[in-house]
Amino acid sequence: MDYLRRLGQSLDRPGFAWKQLIITFQIAQYAFEGFLSFRQYKILKQTRPPKTLEGEVNQETFDKSQAYGRAKAQFGLYSGVYSQIQNFGTIYYDLLPRLWDLTGTWLFRYSPKGFTGEITHTLIFFFAYNLITTTINLPIAYYSTFVLEEKFGFNKSTVKLWVMDLLKGQALGIALGAPLLSAFLAIVQKTGNSFFYYLFLFGIAVQLFAITIYPIAILPLFNKLSPLKEGDLKTGVEGLAKKLDFPLKQLFVIDGSKRSAHSNAYFYGLPWKKHIVIYDTLIEKSETEEVVAVLSHELGHWSLSHTTKLFGIAQFHMFYVFALFSVFINNRSLYRSFGFHKEFPIIIGFILFSEALAPMDMIIKLLMNVLSRKFEFEADEFAVKLGYSTELAKSLIKLQIQNLSTMDADWMYASYHFSHPILPERLGALGWSSKEKKADPKLMNGEKPSVVTGREL
């Protein structure tokens, strides 16, 4: 505790160029990630699939996959430039203090007495800032869904549904964000220098609340969950769960196809009561044994305690972030460098602290991806031991083709960006050997593609 206080004092240096330092961090990160993307783009220009996939992927499918990868890379470049312009404009023109002053003026003029404190001011500032950034980024979001994804046959949404999702998201942001942000600020205000301990406990409580409330109150606003019908798939999944002592409570099918051709399979819930959700697109495009193989991989993460380990790491990271925030919260030189000379709002301190923490976040991202790829190999091995080696390999290949996923990757780009091994690596670990060339005529005739996302295969 005393160490953190001394560290905070040593970093609070009047006149220190925090703004220039953070801009330098942002430029360096953008340049580094651009360099990685350039390396990956050269891979995406290759004309032949990796040797492991030569017997599985026809030339037409590979070419389309490469084109999709290049289109996403180009979109990432342009959207990245757009984001950098926003960031630099916000910093250079001191838009944060300007917006803080403007929302303060609104609060003074129009709010009733008793609602003019920092918490109310922060809520108005936060929602105004969120509305502005959401509006500015609408063209990027629209292009991603209705141009890029539409071009390659993945988008199944309509403009009306897209707008409704956007409005629902904003409404949820206000309904849930207001009390959570208010509680965050109140804890910092009332608990003194040791606030990060209480924020940590609050963060754990919020996560447990989210696990409980999300499938009950939030998910139904966007998708419909239906019980999985009786049949071979339900029997197979229930048998797998029983074999592993997985505390399965319910099996659901989700109507993911009304928005996208991508698909997913995941489980959620408290340790003693779990629910499995399978996207309708995954069921539609896979054989029963392949879906069970997918879930054997997913339940492998549970059986091998991967989910528990990742949850524990996430809690440690949250504590570390809040503890470091206590070092910066009273750093007046940081506030003044960004145009805050009279007021030092907590939320602004957290935003600026997050920007200063960016280089460390890059390292953590790299390490977490290394660990995640290790866990993926282990979950694959778990499925193999259950006897699903062939089915899992076939499912991986099918999903890769249907989703036009990247079939090869630059090692440096993959190390930094990918949380999952690329398909040739996984097939090699599974001991898969190709026997014949697959033409995939159905996939090339416009049938719906699918992929396992989120906690992916």
| Active-site annotation, residues | 298, 380
DSSP code of 268?
A: E
Widest CA span of the chain, in angstroms? Answer: 77
Q: Is 226 in contact with 124 (CB distance < 8 Å)?
A: no
| Backbone phi, psi, residue 327, to 5° | -75, -35
At 425, list the tokens.
């690596």
CA distance readout (Å), 411 to 40, 302, 323: 9, 28, 34
Dihedral, CA of residue 1, residue 364, residue 262 and residue 451, to nearest 10? -130
- Cβ atoms < 10 Å from Cβ of 273: 11
Helix (H, G, I), strand (E, B) or coil at 412: helix
Q: 112 φ, ψ to 5°?
A: -70, 160
Q: Are 448 and 282 in contact (CB under 8 A)?
A: no
Is 196 within 8 Å of 319 (Cβ atoms)?
Answer: yes
Q: What CA–CA distance (Å, rounded) separates 209 from 212? A: 5
- Buried/exposed code over 372-402 (b: 16+ C-beta within 10 A; e: otherwise): bbebbeebbbbbbebebbebbbbbbbbbbbb
Bridge partners, residue 265, by sequence: 278
Q: What is the DSSP string of 173-237?
A: HHHHHHHHHHHHHHHHHHSGGGHHHHHHHHHHHHHHHHHHHIIIIIGGGT--EEEPPSSHHHHHH
**For the residues of 83-139, what is the DSSP string, one character each?**
HHHHHHHHHHTTHHHHHHHHHHHHHHHHSPTT--SHHHHHHHHHHHHHHHHHHHTHH
